[in-house]
Amino acid sequence: MDPVISKIWVAYALLWTWKLAITNVVVTATPQVPCYFIFGDSLVDNGNNNAITSLAKANYLPYGIDFPGGRPTGRFCNGKTTTDIIAQLLGFNDFIHPYANASDQDLLRGVNFASAAAGIRDETGQQLGGRISMNGQVRNYQAAVNRVVNILGDQNTAADHLSKCIYSVGMGSNDYLNNYFMPLYYSSSRQYTPQQWADVLIQQYSQQLRSLYNYGARKVVVIGVGQIGCSPNELAQNSPNGQTCVERINSANRMFNDRLISLVDDFNNNQQGAKFIYINAYGIFEDMLKNPSANGFRVTNRGCCGVGRNNGQITCLPLQTPCPNRKEYIFWDAFHPTEAANVIIARRSYSASSPSDAHPIDISKLAQL
């Protein structure tokens, strides 16, 4: 071959190789599911409470200090929440948007309905002002589904689309933290034993989850309540030494979680096409507290920012300077985990590292169904 022609062919081949390399960098993988809907409280609220008249807000620094761009978004964390990280693990190339300002395109890929201070019970969290209870989140979802039907053209197409989505539901924490164990504001602990309260909550929660099922939810991740008795807030108020977890609270949380596992089994056994799973947030958190150094943690009983004993009296103050070594803290403030802790919870929820992390399967396997 003529040396000049040979050089042209080499240059041509190099050009195409370069183009293919650039293409591979730009093209992003398709998410494992077409959409991800999120329901919950301040653990996963990503801005729905920003425009609500409420004390339960986090749209100010230092919240968001480690979030991309170093800005507050309304997330009750220094960085990403568990559902932010799960969305990334599912292959989404952007975070799921809050319902409060969702576009039609957002609805097709899923939105976040979570609201800080929200509970299964409508009255839960009322001392903090406005919030969107689980009933309110269900109503917002139903309105969203009607919009999805209009966007896609008919109910069958919408139902097929929604059946492939993953739904994440994490409620119940505030029904203990901002209801049952707040006797000065609520009478529930005088009306019900812990066992009765768990039954009352599960009965109502079951109806709410059934409403989601009736509006197309099939792949549902039900997240258990964590160890509320180990939060800096409860340690500050009820622990004699500021280190020992409050067992009467954790015991009540376990009662709720035990019933939640049964609820998941009931849906799977009795609702056609239901694929519900339970995430053992309590157990995952317990592992982090028992073996902190294994995950790089050094401080387990106080918030990275906050006020008072254990930094647990209230949440972070506006513009407060937080601890510099945030990856060594399990708790960000009086109630909420750091991004470092959320990463571990999210990864073990997505891909169980212990058989007890998820029941009957983890999120990665649910996405494949």
For 74-117, how does the pLDDT look when each residue is reduced to its tens digit (9 = 90+)?
A: 999 999 999 999 999 999 999 999 999 999 999 999 999 999 99
93: domain range?
Answer: 34-368
Backbone angles phi, psi at 168, to 5 degrees: -115, 125
Q: Are residues 23 and 124 in the same domain?
A: no
Q: Are residues 275 and 356 in the same domain?
A: yes
Q: Are residues 6 and 153 in the same domain?
A: no
Radius of gyration of the chain (CA): 22
Question: Confidence band (pLDDT; 50, 70, 90) for 314?
Answer: confident
Q: What is the pLDDT of residue 313?
A: 85
Domains: count for the chain: 2
Q: Are residues 22 and 66 in the same domain?
A: no
Instruction: Specify the range with the lowest mean pLDDT, choosing from 8-17, 73-82, 132-141, 350-359.
Output: 8-17
Q: Are residues 18 and 149 in the same domain?
A: no
Which residues participate in catalysis according to the annotation? Answer: 42, 333, 336
pLDDT at 25 over 80: no
Overall pTM surpassing 0.85 (yes/no)? yes
CA atoms within 13 A on the CB side of 242: 12
Mean per-residue pLDDT, 206-230: 98
Mean pLDDT of the chain: 92
Question: Confidence band (pLDDT; 50, 70, 90) for 331?
Answer: very high
Per-residue model confidence as pLDDT tens digits over 4-17: 444 434 344 444 43
pLDDT at 179 over 60: yes
Q: Are residues 23 and 167 in the same domain?
A: no
Q: CATH number for the domain including 275?
A: 3.40.50.1110
Amino acid at 210: R
